[in-house]
């Protein structure tokens, strides 16, 4: 037996062998993916084995966000100098204004300006909590440098004389306090109870979307204040320069040390989330000024908002939801299901039941079934080792699953599990699926091939793998059996990419362009019932690959999901 050190070194060798340096194409493709209309900023160079060689584009290249308001979007590049504006909702606090001690001076052209610098790290990353009108809110700042200013806001101060660059502000409605509304909005005087929600609605009814905050569905709107030197983020409400001075939506009296914070100005971006907690409407507002700042701090803001939890609300419940893809309407799954902290959903063929993985009383992961309405929740496995990868049979009578001992088929009516004999090395994590005729199970093996094995016993057969020149996993057959999709790579090629192959030729082809938006999803739920689309997870969210057109549009925010019908998805939300 080798020493642990030797084992680690050997394993490291194996791991690193499979790790190719980034190719120019790969990075170039990524950059272009943000916005196909923009020439790639990363151009192909001549690579060698020591690492990628590529050229940076001129600084004016644009990298824009996608059209749907979402978290961690890329932001547009612009040369904008950081300042800060706070959008207030009645509750006003004293801001501690300070230039960061480690700000960098950068010379731009002939004039010397203070611009974005290194975080001043005045407060370390970590868990925080605030209490807003009795609503307890906890959140995490993953990056350091976010300062609490008073009870209701945190800010990050990266630049010089403007005190801060971004704030996140918590308030409830209706707010009263020192803030007064801007009198000159183009749509007239706001009523006394006006709030940004009203404002956003009057500006546009098309762009606000829903997202999940702290396990609750919230409304989200992004507002770009107009007459900006550079374009506002894609998908934002664009407000023309309303000449509203001081303040776009609200103004407030000068605060100590924060004299420049009184106005929302052209070039500002305001994100607002509205969520009902314990009967009160909470608004979370984040504001940045300038697109450089936006690009810098936008992801941090979204991370912080994503980490928000409300201790008063069922602490372990997920925020998994059902979304109607035609209308965008979101509905939380019944609390009875969400409170089990489920994952790996598989939807029954009729769409009336779900099977999922959840921790049982002993804390081990076991399979459960439930009506989609939350009724009749049952734990269906009690495996000594944790079970996973549920898949419904086409007739809805059986659920197949995997554990470390092999593959099993469970009769839903009797609750009895039968192990499938003669399975060759399963890859537990790859997920499994019934073949469309219900006679066999498709699974991924340790040798990176896709196999089918008859559930009643019989020799497993390779469906896809070395013979086709690919390493394949996470395979899923289309409902009519004509196609198979999987994640993998060509031998010695880059991976993992998503492939598609017809089951008569078995010629695998990589999905074009945006294939990295089409990563893992439980194979049992991958194909839409009509076989036209493949559900997959992108970098941060759920996409649907259209087999006919090759498009991979964003469809929902989350980390996975399954089709309920051709227009409706069950989505696993981010967060707990």
Partner 1 sequence: MFTQKSETDSFSEFVMSNERHLRESLSAACGDQIGREAAAEALEYGWENWDRLRVMENPVGYLFKVGRGRGRRMLSRSRPVFERVDPIRLPDVEPKLPDALARLSERQRLIVILIHCDQWSQGEVAKLLGLSRSSVRNHLDRAMGSLRKTIGGVS
Question: Which segments of 89-213 are extended strands (E)?
Answer: 105-108, 111-114, 126-132, 135-141, 146-149, 153-156, 166-172, 180-181, 209-213
The burial of 183, by beta-carbon neighbours within 10 Å (0-12 exposed, 13-18 middle, 19 or more buried), is given as: exposed
Q: Does 26 bind partner 1 (CB under 8 A)?
A: yes
CA distances from residue 402 to 36, 208, 239, 381, 390 in whole angstroms, order as listed: 40, 41, 53, 11, 7
Q: Which of 67, 114, 122, 540 binds partner 1 (CB under 8 A)?
A: 540
Q: Does 111 bind partner 1 (CB under 8 A)?
A: no
Nearest-Å Rg of the Cα atoms of the chain is 26
Q: Does 263 bind partner 1 (CB under 8 A)?
A: no
User: What is the distance between the alpha carbons of residues 550 and 30, in angstroms, rounded to a whole number?
Assistant: 17
| DSSP conformational letter for 359 | E
CA distances from residue 195 to 84, 121, 168, 191 in whole angstroms, order as listed: 21, 33, 17, 9
* Interacting span for partner 1 (CB under 8 A) from 103-111, 170-178, 415-423, 500-508: 103-111
* Interacting span for partner 1 (CB under 8 A) from 39-47, 129-137, 522-530, 561-569: 39-47
* Interacting span for partner 1 (CB under 8 A) from 176-184, 297-305, 349-357, 391-399: 297-305
Q: Which is nearer to partner 1, 104 or 259 (CB)?
A: 104
Q: Which is nearer to partner 1, 263 or 541 (CB)?
A: 541
Q: Left (φ > 0), alpha (ψ -120 to 50) or beta: where does 457 sit?
A: left
Site string for partner 1, 349-388 (x = CB under 8 A): ----------------------------------------
Site string for partner 1, 51-90 (x = CB under 8 A): xxxxxxxxx---x-------xx-x--x-------------
- Residues in 142-171 at the binding interface with partner 1, rule: CB under 8 A: 142-143
Q: Which is nearer to partner 1, 50 or 205 (CB)?
A: 50
User: What is the distance between the alpha carbons of residues 547 and 257, in angstroms, rounded to a whole number?
Assistant: 57
Q: Which is nearer to partner 1, 65 or 435 (CB)?
A: 65
Pairing mode, if any, of strands 126-132 and 111-114? unpaired
Q: Does 46 bind partner 1 (CB under 8 A)?
A: no
Q: Does 12 bind partner 1 (CB under 8 A)?
A: yes
φ, ψ of residue 329 in degrees (nearest 5): -65, 130
Q: Which is nearer to partner 1, 168 or 547 (CB)?
A: 168
Q: Which is nearer to partner 1, 42 or 463 (CB)?
A: 42
* Interacting span for partner 1 (CB under 8 A) from 189-197, 271-279, 294-302, 459-467: 294-302
Q: Does 39 bind partner 1 (CB under 8 A)?
A: no
User: Is the C-alpha dihedral spanning 65, 68, 69, 71 positive or negative?
Assistant: negative
* Interacting span for partner 1 (CB under 8 A) from 226-234, 247-255, 501-509, 568-576: 568-576
* Interacting span for partner 1 (CB under 8 A) from 4-12, 81-89, 270-278, 546-554: 4-12
Query: Of all helices (H) and strands (E), which one includes residue 196?
Result: helix 196-203
CB 506 within 8 Å of CB 468: yes
Q: List Cβ neighbours of 205 (8 Å cut-off, separation of 6 or more).
A: none
CB 159 within 8 Å of CB 114: yes
User: What is the distance between the alpha carbons of residues 28 and 34, in angstroms, rounded to a whole number?
Assistant: 11
Residues that bind partner 1 (CB under 8 A): 1-5, 7-12, 14-16, 18-19, 21-22, 26-27, 30-31, 41-42, 45, 50-59, 63, 71-72, 74, 77, 104, 106-109, 116-118, 142-143, 295-296, 299-300, 303, 306, 429, 446, 496, 516, 539-540, 559, 574-576
């Amino acid at each position: 037996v080798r020493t642990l050190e030797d084992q680690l070194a050997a394993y490291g060798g194996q791991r690193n062998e499979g790790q190719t340096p980034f190719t120019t194409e790969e990075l170039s493709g990524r950059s272009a993916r943000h916005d196909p209309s923009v020439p790639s900023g990363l151009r192909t160079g001549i690579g060698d084995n020591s690492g990628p060689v590529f050229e940076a584009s001129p600084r004016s290249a644009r990298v824009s966000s996608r059209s749907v308001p979402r978290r961690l979007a890329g932001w547009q590049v612009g040369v904008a100098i950081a300042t800060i504006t706070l959008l207030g909702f009645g509750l006003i606090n004293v801001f501690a204004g300070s230039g960061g001690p480690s700000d960098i001076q950068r010379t731009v052209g002939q004039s010397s300006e203070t611009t974005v610098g290194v975080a001043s790290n005045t407060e370390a990353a970590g868990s925080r909590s605030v209490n807003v009108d009795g609503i307890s809110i906890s959140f995490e700042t993953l990056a350091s440098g976010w300062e609490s200013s008073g009870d209701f806001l945190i800010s990050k101060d990266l630049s010089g004389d403007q005190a801060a660059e971004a704030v996140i502000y918590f308030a409830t409605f209706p707010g009263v306090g020192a803030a007064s509304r801007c009198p000159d909005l183009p749509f007239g005087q706001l009523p006394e109870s006006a709030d940004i929600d009203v404002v956003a609605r009057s500006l546009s009814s098309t762009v606000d979307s829903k997202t999940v905050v702290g396990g609750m569905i919230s409304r989200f709107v992004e507002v770009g204040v107009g007459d900006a030197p550079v374009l506002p983020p894609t998908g934002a409400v664009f407000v023309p320069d309303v000449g509203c001075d001081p303040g776009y939506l609200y103004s407030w009296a000068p605060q100590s040390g924060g004299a420049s914070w009184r106005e929302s100005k052209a070039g500002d971006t305001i994100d607002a989330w509205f969520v009902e907690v314990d009967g009160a409407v909470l608004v979370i507002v984040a504001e940045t000024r300038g697109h450089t700042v936006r690009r810098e701090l936008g992801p941090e803001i979204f991370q912080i908002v994503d980490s928000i939890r409300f201790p008063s609300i069922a602490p372990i419940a997920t925020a998994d939801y059902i979304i109607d893809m035609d209308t965008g309407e979101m509905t939380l799954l019944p609390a009875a299901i969400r409170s089990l902290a489920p994952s790996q959903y598989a939807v029954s063929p009729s769409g009336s039941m779900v099977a999922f993985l959840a921790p049982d009383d002993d804390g081990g992961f076991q399979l459960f079934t439930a009506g989609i309405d939350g009724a009749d929740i049952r734990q269906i496995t009690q495996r000594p080792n944790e079970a996973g990868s549920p898949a419904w049979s086409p007739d809805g009578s059986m659920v197949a699953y995997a554990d470390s001992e092999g593959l099993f088929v469970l009769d839903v009516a009797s609750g009895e599990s039968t192990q499938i004999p003669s399975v060759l090395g399963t890859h537990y994590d790859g997920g499994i699926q019934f073949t469309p005729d219900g006679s066999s199970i498709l699974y991924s093996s340790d040798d990176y091939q896709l196999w089918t094995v008859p559930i009643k016993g019989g020799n497993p057969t390779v469906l896809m793998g070395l013979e086709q020149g690919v390493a394949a996993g996470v395979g899923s057959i289309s409902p009519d059996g004509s196609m198979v999709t999987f994640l993998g790579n060509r031998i010695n090629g880059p991976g993992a990419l998503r492939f598609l192959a017809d089951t008569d030729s078995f010629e695998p082809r990589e999905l074009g362009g945006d294939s990295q938006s089409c990563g893992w999803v439980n194979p049992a739920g991958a194909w839409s019932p009509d076989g036209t689309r493949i559900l997959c997870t992108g970098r941060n969210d759920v996409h649907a690959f259209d087999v006919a057109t090759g498009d991979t549009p964003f469809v929902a925010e989350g980390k996975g999901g399954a089709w309920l019908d051709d227009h409706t998805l069950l989505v696993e939300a981010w967060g707990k």
